[in-house]
Structure 1
């Protein structure tokens, strides 16, 4: 049977032009600054700290110019623990301990942030104007150098505000981190293969109307792109019932169910589209007047008018900026039965956030393509909803998995979720961070042990 599907090369459809001064430049003249994000560890953040992180993100985003896209991308990849038993000074028990955990599976977390400066026209494009639908991509020239300079100044302010918070750290990605070297993959290659393993070859990418396949991996995509899918209330943190008691609360970020608590290979994309707020509000004022004139013909028009007026009242009363937002969870598997289970697990995770799970089968290809670093300008505008910065930030994940303590002194413990061994300093490092102000030591030994310690 003859293959009637259209095929083309990745080179002809690739939307990015170059990487200059550690920034990605697209063929549509969009400029993207890329960061690696270091978040606090899981189950270590209190309510006041979550509020401080939320406030830091808000202050930083307020410094960005209009027609900027904030794209936070969290990777959750299943990996196997690889012990380092070749290091010097390991005792027999230490080596046996490491070998016991050899190849133990765990979910590793990588977080990136992309700040893209685009244009008003690009922010309004729908899915049928994606670079995937264009025959030939002709690179455009950046004409307004002053806009680029102001954007880079705003990016520097953004980075400084977030880093000064003390909870989240931004690290600028270099050209080698983005496009890779001969020894390691770059971020772009990792996304196009959906793999962080070294020496993973490029495979065929099938972008269909209802299915996306990368090699043998098939994607399933759940989106939050409509206000009807969202919960009635959101907050910077939520109570984790499994580890909470009547007297104490164990807190996680509001979006934690689609983060580390979703134990499968997936990417959680968070988009904020910073339009011109005044222009958005004027458009809503006009829409409210139209709804008012049509309210006598339909109760739905009357309800829509009331919702629009509430939105406008909130914006004008508290000086809030009108933006658009979108969130999606992209999971994948090379096994059909496992993919079906992933759809159920992802839908359940969104339901835990009191969201309405919506399995997207229409814009999977364009949403995957727009999720590429530096290509957020290709995002289809019809997949976003209007909101304010503060409630949109509640959908950011704000924690990462447990990390080894940098101090050489410590004890071996296990990750609470996966059982992966962790080197933890429970004495000196908490003192340096101000978590504790004093400490006690308990010494257990045979007769004469105290004399040995005192000597």
Structure 2
């Protein structure tokens, strides 16, 4: 038996679009289509109420459209690969380069959403698959519609777009060049016919002889065109079990399983046909009457009659709009042979919607042809079903990929599905849009949750973008990064105790510097419960003024606590005698006696007499590691004063330069040592100086039991960052209440790390901006970043052993990362 050979035809003969003019597609049936590109909400960011609100807006928008209008929503999900930013004109640091190389060609699904609104020239209720231009041998153009009908259509389209825009969906109308292309760029019409969204997509052959083959792409089509294919109830959203817990309901859109969650090349077409509503109801009334007269002969007729009654009653009593609907899934692969794996994957996705997977092999050509932009009027009627607008809109896909911020400033994190890098701005863009009123951040994450990797990554990227960073740590979490950045690292060791020179300044000290030195001297001199008199305060101020005046006249004399102490013993003592200052006004001998341990030869003579004349205000990366002194009654208060003095000096001196102070667990000790006022001042004032204060903690009780956190830090931190909270699951309601998290944010937080990609090493982080925008991101790093950020003692030792052996930090990181890479 010989094969039947079908005659071939040219695409020019059969293609249905007559003309593209003024942004409109005009078909050979005189249908007029307006085309848009849509930006939908990001996946995993909407709550149940958000889905319901969005659905309600869709229904209202559809009701604005005139009769004989087709809404065709076409969502493309195309496999793509992440391309690193090596050629963006700026030199990358070693860690940034390693990050980009780690994600080089990371596969992901690129989502693009198009919306086509078509005004058909006439009613198409009886238009079938044999009526399309693909099947007809002759084309009989119809007369264009009256101008007033087109005007009414365009007005309705404008209202449709405005309504959805107000709901947060961004619209971009496609131009003539977008649709037809140019000599250098392929247009959407050609892209669809080749199933290729590349701007240089070549034209390929279409083969309808055995299903559908587009070039080398073998296609399958799955239709939702019968009521029997659908579940009994359509919903706006469904519970996503992989990210839900027994305490939380994590919602995704009803059509999400055939959207981004379907990991293959596919197009999801959604059609909604607005016919003549009154005509449809009259037709159903006649059918109901016929069934009623035949009910005695068949129980099925009686049941169908009840269905028609129910439909008509709802249409009239609830004023619902009768429409026709259809959805189909076009998937493709370039693999040879029977694509069983693709079939199983697609069927499973449809089954997750509680729908029946029906592969359409007969009408695949007609459905593909109707999917051409502007050709929705050619859709075969037998593939659609009657329903109401509310149910039809449930079939719409409403989510898209995580979007990168357009802001030039930000950090790189990963999206939850593929791990593709996403540029996230947590500071500038949210401030400009009013999401937040300050840049401060509060970070909560128990030990082992990935907190150090997130904070190290954030600090590194901020610093590489020009931020002055001051870190207060209690666990050597930033030693590797500080060494790499050539920063200043202060820590206390028995053979190398912590040492400063707060008296060193460039030029004459300003008012802020003199005030901080007076505060330091008072802290060393007086106990917390001792009062400083006005005369004592004036005497210290005079001493500092005269001391720096002496230094100006004696350039060879070096500023330090030792020389200040000697100045007090000599010239200032003489001055007090000349001025006849009484001991009860300022007891110099008592002052010298109490501060003697900090002078040359004293117990703490190293503390304020560093041999390094560091100008900490100009140092861009400073780490104070306080683990060994956080309980010391003398050293700790002095060091915390120097820390605060350093950052406040940066705030007031560095104009137009971004500043960050990040306080790890040390904030608990700082708050106990009478430093509460500094914390309050910092969090309330830093935003005015282009700065941000960040506090990191890992204990729930730190939030619940500390008024400084509750009343100052939390209230003045518009960005809240949480890592895995499973350890606090039984107490999370307290955290939710104190941090003001919504139920949607609670579901997001408790979904952290529940559905991480198999084989990938990363942790997830939740970020909320002003309580209005919240997402969960992946924190995935390269091996070079891993060895820089690691807090594992054995791994840190191996890294610094290489440094001690003579390697610079960059070479040591590369060498250690290479060893780990080879070890697997």
Partner-residue secondary structure (3-state), 1:64: coil
Structure 1 pair 6/156, CA: closer, same or farther in 2 (3 Å)? same
Q: CA deviation at 1:432?
A: 5.2
Distance 1:225 1:2 in 2: 31
Structure 1 pair 135/339, CA: closer, same or farther in 2 (3 Å)? same
Distance 2:646 2:141 in 1: 74
Distance 1:26 1:377 in 2: 9
Distance 2:363 2:338 in 1: 22
Structure 1 pair 98/402, CA: closer, same or farther in 2 (3 Å)? same
Structure with the higher helix share, 1 or 2: 2
Q: Could you list the per-position Cα deviations for residues 346-380 of structure 1 after superposition, in whole angstroms to 9, with x for gaps in the alignment? A: 11111111111111111000000000000001100
Partner-residue secondary structure (3-state), 1:98: helix
Distance 2:303 2:54 in 1: 35
Q: Which range moves more in the overlay, 415-424 or 73-82?
A: 415-424
Check conservation: 1:177, 1:187, Cα contact below 8 A: yes
Structure 1 pair 141/452, CA: closer, same or farther in 2 (3 Å)? farther
For the aligned residues, what is the CA RMSD?
Answer: 1.9
Q: Which range moves more in the overlay, 188-197 or 420-429?
A: 420-429
Partner-residue secondary structure (3-state), 1:221: strand
Structure 1 pair 429/251, CA: closer, same or farther in 2 (3 Å)? farther
TM-score normalised by L of structure 1: 0.95
Partner-residue secondary structure (3-state), 2:235: coil
2:127 counterpart (119, 122, 125) = 125
TM-score normalised by L of structure 2: 0.53
Partner of 1:98: 100
2:471 counterpart (433, 444, 455) = 444
Matches within 5 A, 1:49-128: 49-87=50-88, 88-128=90-130
Distance 1:3 1:253 in 2: 45
Partner of 1:172: 173
Matches within 5 A, 1:182-201: 182-201=183-202
2:183 maps to 1:156: no
Q: Which range moves more in the overlay, 52-61 or 73-82?
A: 52-61
Q: CA deviation at 1:74?
A: 0.2
Distance 1:334 1:213 in 2: 10
Matches within 5 A, 1:33-44: 33-44=34-45
Matches within 5 A, 1:392-411: 392-411=392-411
Distance 1:108 1:417 in 2: 12
Check conservation: 1:229, 1:356, Cα contact below 8 A: yes
Partner of 2:312: 312
Check conservation: 1:12, 1:137, Cα contact below 8 A: no
Distance 1:116 1:146 in 2: 16
Distance 1:405 1:289 in 2: 59
1:135 counterpart (112, 134, 137) = 137
Q: CA deviation at 1:310?
A: 0.9
Structure 1 pair 144/249, CA: closer, same or farther in 2 (3 Å)? same
Q: Could you list the per-position Cα deviations for residues 130-183 of structure 1 after superposition, in whole angstroms to 9, with x for gaps in the alignment? A: 111111324333141221111111111111111112x21111111111111122
Distance 2:336 2:286 in 1: 49
Where do 5+ consecutive residues of structure 1 fail to align? none
Q: Could you list the per-position Cα deviations for residues 258-282 of structure 1 after superposition, in whole angstroms to 9, with x for gaps in the alignment? A: 0000000000000000001111111
Check conservation: 1:53, 1:168, Cα contact below 8 A: no
Structure 1 pair 452/265, CA: closer, same or farther in 2 (3 Å)? farther
Check conservation: 1:77, 1:109, Cα contact below 8 A: yes
Q: Which range moves more in the overlay, 250-259 or 443-452?
A: 443-452
Q: Could you list the per-position Cα deviations for residues 73-113 of structure 1 after superposition, in whole angstroms to 9, with x for gaps in the alignment? A: 00000001111212214212212211221111110100000
Distance 1:441 1:356 in 2: 47
Partner of 1:329: 329
Check conservation: 1:130, 1:378, Cα contact below 8 A: yes
Check conservation: 1:109, 1:400, Cα contact below 8 A: yes
Partner-residue secondary structure (3-state), 1:273: strand
Partner of 1:8: 9
Partner-residue secondary structure (3-state), 1:234: coil
Q: Which has the larger radius of gyration?
A: 2
Check conservation: 1:73, 1:113, Cα contact below 8 A: yes
Does 1 or 2 have the higher relative contact order (CA < 8 Å, sep 6+)? 1
Structure 1 pair 410/123, CA: closer, same or farther in 2 (3 Å)? same
Check conservation: 1:404, 1:423, Cα contact below 8 A: yes
Where do 5+ consecutive residues of structure 2 fail to align? 444-469, 473-488, 491-615, 617-621, 623-642, 651-824
Structure 1 pair 187/34, CA: closer, same or farther in 2 (3 Å)? same
Distance 2:342 2:124 in 1: 33
Q: Could you list the per-position Cα deviations for residues 205-233 of structure 1 after superposition, in whole angstroms to 9, with x for gaps in the alignment? A: 1123x511111111100001111111111
Q: CA deviation at 1:440?
A: 2.6
Distance 1:74 1:2 in 2: 37
Partner of 1:369: 369
Distance 1:357 1:11 in 2: 34
Partner of 1:261: 261
Check conservation: 1:17, 1:139, Cα contact below 8 A: no
Partner of 2:660: none
Distance 2:421 2:297 in 1: 65
Partner-residue secondary structure (3-state), 1:109: strand
Distance 1:53 1:123 in 2: 29
Partner-residue secondary structure (3-state), 2:124: helix
Check conservation: 2:229, 2:357, Cα contact below 8 A: yes
Distance 1:57 1:396 in 2: 9
Structure 1 pair 452/179, CA: closer, same or farther in 2 (3 Å)? farther
Q: CA deviation at 1:413?
A: 0.8
Partner of 1:31: 32
Q: Which range moves more in the overlay, 212-221 or 443-452?
A: 443-452
Check conservation: 1:223, 1:327, Cα contact below 8 A: yes
